[in-house]
Amino acid sequence: MSSKIIMDRLGDSVCEDSRPTSSPEMQKFCNTPLKRKKEQLCKGKPGKDGLCWRHSPRQDDTFQPIGGKFRVTETMGELRKIAKEEGVRGYSRKNKMDLVRLIESATDRKFKRREVLTRKQLKAIARRRGITNFSRLKKDQLAEKVKQSIEEAADQIEIADKREAVGGIFGTVDIKPKTQLDVETFIRLSWGKIRSTISEGLVEKKGLKVEILLHVEMVRIIPATSENNYANPIFRSASRVILESSDLDEEIAQMEDKIKESMEAFNAKGSGWTFGHIEKLEIQLNEHKPLKGSSYIYHFLRSLLPKRQ
């Protein structure tokens, strides 16, 4: 073998060994082309996927629900004055929410609650809704703009199916989106239809057992085959008993929070699932029948009496 061929083969092997490997263990930098600086690569520290935290694809946040805190409009001074007028005891050291619960449990008064969102949460909703030029808006202006955007989309949902049980209106009501919506917008748009559905049921019966189920489709890519894997999880609210005297907005808010908690728990697993689309929101209604006292104690005591001879 000539010396020229040997040198050529040695040169090829050196070139192959000197090429940068694509494995994250051997890669020192991210090496993603920068958008603002042409012909320059990112020098950030790579992660498990070989990309830095700036260029690594983030999890789809349209599935992550945004929930504010429900607060009453009355101040602490007004609440303490109400408690004093109603003759409620033990209210002086209560915080605001505990004081509200104490007054509602001790009297027939019910306070109206409204959801309060932070500026960061309002910005996240604005991005999902496709709102532009909101970065310099004040919190009140941003909240009004988000509210208008959601109200304009009110016709994007519909009651697709209403199945009645035997002998009454109680059964299942399905709400479906007409167009693709993120989870947060869909839940907010469905609030009014959920409220009206429960209110109609309370007209016929004094008590209802209500449960809300959110059906979605999730997608995950299988690395071995590069094929899509689909799943249809159902996120449930706890079944709640709603009476004529119940605060309907508070009850719906509690069920909504339960759905959001189960969605957050699903996201925390980190299984690689991303949000596909919303299938429907299902409202299940059943009549609430409180348990009645029976006479088993009477028969038990009677059995202890001595029998007549």
Q: Among candidates 160, 154, 129, 155, which has minimal Cα distance to 142? A: 129
How far apart CA 204 and CA 165 sit, in angstroms, is 13
- pTM, 2 dp: 0.58
Instruction: Report the distance separating Cα 56 and Cα 62, nearest Å.
Output: 17
Provide the domain count of the chain. 2
Instruction: Tell me: pLDDT of 86 over 80.
Output: yes
Q: Are residues 52 and 161 in the same domain?
A: no
Q: How far apart are CA 42 and CA 31, in angstroms?
A: 5
Taking CA atoms, 197 is separated from 162, 169, 178, 244, 255, in Å, by: 10, 10, 19, 14, 15
297 inside domain: no
Structural domain of 32:
1-57
For residues 162 and 282, state if they share a domain.
yes
Is 234 a domain residue?
yes
125 in any annotated domain: no
Distance separating alpha carbons of residues 37 and 118, to the nearest angstrom: 35
Of the chain, the percentage scoring pLDDT greater than 90 comes to 5
CATH for 243? 3.30.1490
Q: Of the candidates 57, 73, 95, which is a domain's last residue?
A: 57
Q: Is the pLDDT of residue 11 over 70?
A: no
Report yes or no on 83 lying in a domain.
no
8 occurs within a structural domain: yes
Smallest CA-to-CA distance from 99 within 68, 120, 77 is with 77
Does any domain span residue 281? yes
> Is residue 280 in a domain?
yes
Residue holding tokens 């907010």? 188
Q: Report the C-alpha gap between 156 and 193 in whole angstroms.
A: 13
User: Could you read off the pLDDT of 206-220 as tens digits, one per residue?
Assistant: 888 999 999 988 877
pLDDT of 13 > 60? The answer is: no
Q: Is residue 133 part of a domain?
A: no
